[in-house]
Structures are given as C-alpha cells and as structure tokens.
Amino acid sequence: MDSVKVLSSNLNSVNTRRRYVKQPSFGLNATQAASKVLTNLDDVFNKMPSSYEQRREAKKLIKEGLNKTERFFYKLGKSMGEIQTTLINAVGTALVAPIFIAYNPIAKEDKETRVYSAWRQPVSAVLAVLTQVGINVPFTKYLNKRASEGRLGSFFDLSIKHDSNYLLAQAKKEGIKFANKDMADDYIDKIHVEQFRKEVRKKTKAILNDPEKYTRIFKNTLAPSEQRKMEYFGISVAEEAKKITIKQIKQVEKNVKGLKVVLGLGLSLLTLPPTCSLLNWAYPRFMEIIFPEKCKSQKLKGGK
C-alpha cells in the first residue's frame, strides 16, 4: 500500500509540473502570424494531404477486397437512383402482389374475381412508373439544378458541392464522355474536391481576418520553434476551416434532402387524384381487351 501511495504521489507531482511548464515564447504574435499565413496560403495547402488522392486510394482498396458477390452489390448500391428505385417497386407491384391476391387462401371472393383484381396491380405499376419518371424525377432534377446553382437561398445552397447528377448533366452539355461508371465517379470526386478546397481556402481567409478567431487558434498552437509555430498555426487554421466547411456541407445536404421529401410528398398528393381516376378508367377497359370472356362472366363491363 505504501508503494502505491508513493507512486500516486510521484504521478501527481509530475502532472502538476507539466501543468505549469511554460511553452517557449517567441517574438511572433498572433496578428503577425495571421498576416504571414494569409500571404502564403499556397504553402499551407501544399503541406496538407490531398483528399482526392486519399479517396481514390480508399475506393481502390475497398474494391480489391471484395469478392464477386460483394462487388455486385457494391456496384448495385452505387448505381441506385430514384428511377431504379421506382422500377424495382413497380416490378414488385406488378409481379409479386398479384400472386398473393390471386392465390389468397383466406379471401372470400371466388378465384375468377381474385384474378380479375390481381390484374389491377400491373396496370397500377405502369401508371406509377409513368407518374414518377414523368413528373417526380424531372422535378427532383430541377431542384438539384437550382440548389447547385445557389438559386434556392443560403439554406439550400449546394454551390459549394454540386449535386452529382447536375455535374454529369453539365459534363454531357460540354461533350465530356465517360467509358464507365468509375470514370464518371472519378470526375465527380475531382470536382467535389476542387470545390471543397476552394471553400476551405475562402473560410481560412475569413478566419485569418478575424482577430478573435485567429488569436484563439494561435494560443492553442504549441511548437518548439518560431518556424514550427508558423507552420503548425497555418495548418491549424486550415483544419478549423475544413471542419466548418464539412459541417456546412452536411447541413445543406440535409436541408436539400428534407426539401425534396416535403415537396415530393406534396407533388405525390397532387398527382394522386388524377392518377387514381386514370387507373379506374383504364383498368376495366384493359381487362375487356385482354380478358373479354372473364369480364362478361363476372358482369364487369369496362367503363359502364
């Protein structure tokens, strides 16, 4: 027990001494440091690792470590978009739902009536695809374009990180073609990193022009020499700017996503009455053309 007390006492003594150790004092002050870093921003950013190269290397390592099945689902996940999701839902509605309706063992209706009802699902799926692809998807693209161009206000401003589909649309206008999906992804990543670094540089300048912010960072920057102090201070300011930029991008992306959900829901509610009316009009006529005998036997005359 005595040895434990002695050890504890020694550790407390060491920690106390560390707490009161003075950092080397240099002739450099916060304002001078901010001024020098501001005039040598290129040196600061050149010493920071390239996010673009890191991301490319990470993607390469991920792909190399996947087996064929995992690679298939990886590519599937990367290629999934609103149109693909709509088509998958439509396939489920058109092929899976009718089976459960037609062969429902607890249904009270006879088999012919159940089969007649089951055919409503494929017609409904076709109308859903036409509605989604014809109205919702173009509307989403329009929102992405407006947000990427900064025309929806600062709350939804994606000009600091353009939407991927918007970038691909712009590339198509400029005649840029991609041999495969990986090349398109690399193109998007490169532009995103360029935009990110531009925004970080902008925010770094803003910090270096704000005495309250750069003084706080300067005081918290520890270094063994004045030269190192300058180097560490510049990187610390840039890292602070990176954190602010990342937080801003995440928040704006979240805001845009929420806007899409709210407006998409409103658009769906607006298109629901005409879609249902169209389904009620088209379905009986479709059945009379495909299964005229069944309609006669069930006394279900289309549109009458």
**How many alpha carbons lie under 13 Å from residue 143 in its C-beta half-sphere?**
19
Distance CA 114, CA 144 (A): 43
Q: How confident is the model at residue 304 (pLDDT cuts 50, 70, 90)?
A: very low
Question: Where is pLDDT greater, at 50 or 266?
Answer: 266
Share above pLDDT 70 across residues of the chain, in percent, rounded to a whole number: 75
Contact 194, 213 (CB under 8 A): no
Q: How confident is the model at residue 94 (pLDDT cuts 50, 70, 90)?
A: confident
- Look at 16-30, 61-75, 281-295 and tell me which has the smallest mean pLDDT: 16-30
Residue 113 tokens read as 């009536």
Contact 116, 298 (CB under 8 A): yes
Mean pLDDT over 177-188 rounds to 85
Alpha helix stretches (DSSP H) within the chain = 2-19, 30-39, 41-47, 51-64, 68-79, 82-91, 97-102, 111-118, 120-131, 137-148, 164-173, 181-208, 211-219, 226-290, 292-297
- CA torsion through residues 291, 123, 117, 107, sign: positive
Question: Where is pLDDT greater, at 15 or 272?
Answer: 272
- Look at 58-67, 123-132, 164-173, 189-198 and tell me which has the smallest mean pLDDT: 58-67
Alpha-carbon distances of 203 from 140, 183, 195, 234, rounded to whole Å: 30, 30, 12, 13
- Mean pLDDT estimate for the chain: 77
Report the pLDDT value the prediction gives residue 122, as an integer from 0 to 100: 82
Choose among 254, 194, 70: nearest CA to 186.
Answer: 194
pLDDT digits (tens, 9 = 90+) for 227-269: 888 888 888 998 899 889 989 999 999 999 899 888 888 887 8
Phi-psi region of 110 (alpha: psi -120 to 50; beta: other; left: phi over 0): beta
Burial class (CB in 10 A: 0-12, 13-18, 19+), 34: buried
- Look at 55-69, 124-138, 220-234 and tell me which has the smallest mean pLDDT: 55-69
Contact 156, 259 (CB under 8 A): yes
pLDDT digits (tens, 9 = 90+) for 143-173: 999 999 999 988 999 998 999 889 999 999 9
Question: Where is pLDDT greater, at 277 or 288?
Answer: 277
Residue 153's CB is within 10 A of a number of other CB atoms, namely 10
pTM: 0.69
What residues contact 136, with CB distance under 8 A and at least 6 apart?
Answer: 82, 86, 264, 267, 268
DSSP code, position 101: H
- Look at 41-55, 213-227, 238-252 and tell me which has the smallest mean pLDDT: 41-55
How far does the chain reach from its first CA to its final CA, in angstroms?
98
Report the pLDDT value the prediction gives residue 53, as an integer from 0 to 100: 56
| SS3 of residue 24 by DSSP | coil
Tell me the Cα Rg of the chain: 31
Question: Where is pLDDT greater, at 165 or 48?
Answer: 165
Mean pLDDT over 89-98 rounds to 75
